[in-house]
Amino acid sequence: METDKRIVNAMAELLRVQGYAATGIQQLARAAKAPTGSIYHHFRGGKREVAAAALRQTGAVYIQVLPMLLDEHADLATGVEAAFAAAAEDIENTGWANMCPVGTVTGEIADTEPELREVAAEVLTSWVEEGTRYLAGRGLSGTDARALTYALISALEGAFILARGQRSTEPLLAAGRAMAAYTATLPAGASPSSGEKVGPSGADFGEGVGGF
């Protein structure tokens, strides 16, 4: 693989495990099997620019996860609960490792790294837009689709933190039940097979991406 790709992938992995501040350039160089000088050759902006690239890449990968999981169930509320249950199983099976760096890094740098915060905001916005589009395709109104998307991402990110902290699937399962109950109260949750598929198909998670 090209050096710059290796650097970005290694950064994404380190961000996932230990966050931004705790990740050093030398550690990154070791993980990417590249000398420190190469990092600054490919990323003039140093650590910050590498982290930004890693966040964008991860965001583009994970944007496909939720639609893919929900597509498997005809009933939307059932799909929501199943998606949280799948996340719970995954996080337990990987030894309570973090699933995705975006939430962790956002919380860490939102008040101290304006440029990275903007990148994180872009990624989150892309998730919301994609989720809203998908849920509208499943029959929800535009406002309901957007509100549900925000609630789903919030509950998922928060439950991930509790689950990792407590080493328990209970937060994810409880959040899933809650979001499923909320989904069931929304009008017109249609089957995914009414008309054509709306979610992106053939999700390809690449090579260096851990989790899920």
Is 77 a binding residue for its own copies by CB under 8 A? The answer is: no
Is 164 a binding residue for its own copies by CB under 8 A? The answer is: yes
| Cβ 111 to its own copies shortest distance, Å | 5
| Cβ 20 to DNA shortest distance, Å | 9
- Asked if 208 contacts 13 with a C-beta cutoff of 8 angstroms, the reply is yes
Measured from the CB atom, is 14 or 120 closer to DNA? 14
Give residues in contact with DNA (CB under 7 A).
2-3, 23-27, 34-38, 40-42, 46-48
Q: Is 10 exposed, middle or buried (0-12, 13-18, 19+ CB in 10 A)?
A: buried
Is 193 a binding residue for its own copies by CB under 8 A? The answer is: no
| Cβ 145 to its own copies shortest distance, Å | 11
Figure out which of the listed residues 35, 45, 107, 195 binds its own copies, where binding follows CB under 8 A: 107
Residues with Cβ within 8 Å of 68's Cβ and at least 6 positions away in sequence, in order, are 199, 200, 203
Measured from the CB atom, is 25 or 181 closer to DNA? 25
Is 179 a binding residue for its own copies by CB under 8 A? The answer is: yes
Q: CA 72 to CA 67: how far, in whole Å?
A: 9
Closest CA to 59 of 119, 3, 108, 4: 119
Is 133 a binding residue for its own copies by CB under 8 A? The answer is: no
Q: What is the C-alpha R_g of the chain? A: 18
